[in-house]
Structure 1
């Protein structure tokens, strides 16, 4: 169906040409799901954009052949490509909210594609758009037809994007990180839906991902990319069990799995002994009957329903659950960005729930409770350098300045493994892992006693995630901090946390020691979460050469 030979793609920049893809060759057969794995910057997405001919300005295919069903896509006219895109070859983009028009109803966006490719008329477009929504198992599709993207959850938006991609019955589907940012049950539902539709319609597919567990579970064949080149290709089971290339071995080793330590994620050459950490019996945080209720159009909306739990000094507690379960609302109340409706938040014995969120910024406790946000890019000021970002809380809350401030910023950079040479760079000049380190350095600048981590590694590549998780474990041991680690990745929670709290529908349905909850979950919902988690590929069966 698709044949790519010796593909090369370069981008013209102010500093000259950048060769993003070099000598890439692979085939996709009818009915086959090909996985392309690799970390950010490996050339995965650029390869797919090149074959779709949707490269950014300055990007061009400089060598190679791209053949789809005998048609030379590299030399096809733009008019032909407009006809091919959507009708023959379709794409699910990484960020569903960015891919959808925010001011246009989702039903109309599906109609746009159908009518562009003459798959519907004005008379039957609505009916076919609703059928497309039903095909991706959206409940009450007729009502959802009139919804705007902001009215839908992340998982629902992803289903709409899939509906648009499949509306014209394409023969080849490209899914670029189709589950990034989705909770694990939604991720499983989306991937099983895509997989079933591919099989039922006899399509070919390319799934681009950095999640090795997902690739191993849903792909027939795997291509591993690094620095714009393919370094290894093979059957998932054989490739992950006996990787030949050092880079594939690195990806497999950095993938969290049950029964292993957080240090095992790191390459052997940089692996150090675990630092001992002590958990005290005294709780630093005690939450009692905490509730948050919003006024909705049709009555009250109970985001958090009377939850109670404790975090002991030096303890790392995982807070898990699906989107909408109340994890983020709980975190925002604890860090005092949001006022609770009722209940107590006892921090170090003092109830801080009654202090209005707007006034807590000036409270002496402000420096003791800090937060690392989910999206390192969005949580950093694009006009501030890394140095300015880390210095900001020291200036505002610590009253620090001059040489003392500069020395503390350097110390924090060293503590979080951020090279001092990067301190004067702006967010767009830093990698995802470097931005995560800036966010962590800012959060620990005032020596907080309690740190809330909201999905801090969700968007990171596995090898960068491994380094950041080990950094967090070391910081906790060195500084004696307590963590509330909010995540939907149960494999990561198992590695970093002593205790786990499971939330559903604003309530706590289960909590207990991490190993106990993960090994023998008592509640059906916890069992469902664990069964939905992609199974990481097995540790390689033979030692590295």
Structure 2
């Protein structure tokens, strides 16, 4: 923890939004301070008030927002009382912000260089030539190559990670003292995320910046934070040093968040703790402890009176009646343990069953190429470039890699949304990778279903939930209307929704509920194989745990086989039986989940594993990210191929590389 002077203090902040339904109480007495040179992480579920508090500090609240009470003190001045002109002078120059989505915070029709220099020229009256020099230095500092050329490009010409670097450069242009990072890595791959986090820490150290880091990823918190504030229902319910929060959490909500996260040590036979219910509706804030309806340790007083902040140590406070001197003793270790219930694992339950040894899906030499342009400008993109793998009946096969590696394209090719350029796909021994087979077989469309990454984009906003879920049954023409409705209601119940939800529209549901609707739609046709494409990437950690547990229960109940596509290797390792690692259209390694974690062979797999943020401050302080450099491979003399180096463990490379990779396995001794 940094012991520098206090540079920012938020005191008793109450903030409401006027909506058609009434007043939403988004912040309900928020208190925290930020010291010079430290990183304060603010964590909590979506809707807890994290981003709203940050925008209040920046003076960027929408017109329907009201600050009813409180102070935001920066250098002795209350920012709430400043005029718009005075806040404009502070915003960017003294306090800057990095937003969650870089594409929406960059002007798509303005060149990158102009966006970085704009604040310098307007706020600090820096001449154009000098502003450009500083912008180029900033671009180099945040890791942008060919800065002279990139300076004149537009945002769409940058990758997601590069756009986030440009947003960071823009935020640093006027040398602010405070940097607010609002979920700056949520949409990024784990390797790009690791680079951005390293970059922020390096810049903070160089400039002695004070950082407020807003996130729901506790692994990122363990990596970045000196102190942590946990928010729930518009309040900070616990705060302390990063070690105190992770090693000695005292609020049941904090413990629940920590228990809901899988990491590389979490065994797939254990069930993640899923916080029951949902956060309260802040149109009508609860009378007592807001977390009481979801708290297994709640007492009668929790429903009647709001707990004050109890002091645990000089730096650690928590607002829970469990810290009251008259509260009953609670076995916190029992609550924090991650192993709550042993699952029925298919590979153990039916390891002697011949059916489980047969591949349900066989992918052979799959190629999926896309072309753009004409003539000499014709460009061929090898999205999937000659990959082969099997998925066995009843298993969960994880497919992991960075964005653009070909994971989603592989899933879409299997289900028939893309017709393969080359290669063959067999389902239950039947060839399905021909155009006429894909488009004409109703049986095939029933037996393979897909859960899409973005539930709101994949659900028709003009259809009710019952219409969305029942659509597949209507297309199959196997059921009457009454039978369809009966099956829809039953499926809603199975995925944790109710019959009353059937007549609502997608926009009336939370992200987690929409994902459950997508799962119900995929499962109602009784498929044998489900392709789950990033089904939890946009969800809070607590909702993520609910969806993972639900998928596992449904897998056991319906004897499903799953292709689970994701970029978070800790989730994939926890959830999968076997894992395939993709890079640049190629499968570079396949192994059992535990084997891949214990003995990663390909350098790209090692890089992915090293980049995963773990919710353990001690681990994060010593962790070193292994950067993967594809130029280390020289295939000019030796043709690379996928080789089985150990039973069930395959790795891609030339003969000399394979020999080097497998020294630790001692297979050549």
Deviation per CA, 1:381-438, whole angstroms, max 9, x where unpaired? 2222222221222222345442111111101101111122222222222111111101
- Alignment match of 1:182 (pick from 164, 183, 188): 188
Distance 1:274 1:224 in 2: 31
Deviation per CA, 1:69-96, whole angstroms, max 9, x where unpaired? 2221001000111222111111111111
1:240–1:107 Cα change, 3 Å: same
Q: Secondary structure at the match of 1:377?
A: helix
1:510–1:119 Cα change, 3 Å: farther
Q: Does 1:10 align with 2:16?
A: yes
Deviates more, 1:333-342 or 1:381-390: 381-390
Total equivalences in the alignment:
538
- CA offset at residue 351 of structure 1? 2.0
Match of 2:647 in 1: none
Match of 2:386 in 1: 306
Q: Does 1:410 align with 2:489?
A: yes
The correspondence of residues 139-218 of structure 1 with structure 2, limited to 5 A, is: 139-218=145-224
- Alignment match of 1:528 (pick from 603, 607, 611): 607
The correspondence of residues 284-299 of structure 1 with structure 2, limited to 5 A, is: 284-295=360-371, 297=377, 299=379
The correspondence of residues 3-402 of structure 1 with structure 2, limited to 5 A, is: 3-118=9-124, 120-257=126-263, 258-260=265-267, 261-266=269-274, 273-277=342-346, 278=350, 280-295=356-371, 297=377, 299-355=379-435, 360=439, 363-398=442-477, 400-402=479-481
CA contact (8 A) 2:108 2:154 kept: yes
Please give the TM-score of this superposition, normalised by the length of structure 2.
Answer: 0.77
Q: Secondary structure at the match of 1:275?
A: coil
CA contact (8 A) 2:397 2:580 kept: yes
Q: Please list every run of 5 or more consecutive structure 1 residues that lacks an aligned counterpart in the other structure.
A: 540-545
Distance 1:51 1:84 in 2: 11
Distance 1:184 1:436 in 2: 22
1:141–1:394 Cα change, 3 Å: farther
Q: Please list every run of 5 or more consecutive structure 2 residues that lacks an aligned counterpart in the other structure.
A: 1-6, 277-295, 297-334, 619-669
Distance 1:482 1:198 in 2: 46
1:256–1:63 Cα change, 3 Å: same
Distance 2:429 2:153 in 1: 46
Distance 1:423 1:272 in 2: 31
1:431–1:267 Cα change, 3 Å: closer
Match of 2:288 in 1: none
Distance 1:32 1:57 in 2: 32
Match of 2:631 in 1: none
Distance 1:522 1:133 in 2: 35
CA contact (8 A) 1:398 1:446 kept: no
Q: CA RMSD in A?
A: 2.1
Distance 2:98 2:358 in 1: 49
Greater Rg over alpha carbons, structure = 2
Please give the TM-score of this superposition, normalised by the length of structure 1.
Answer: 0.94
Deviates more, 1:493-502 or 1:256-265: 256-265
Match of 1:543 in 2: none
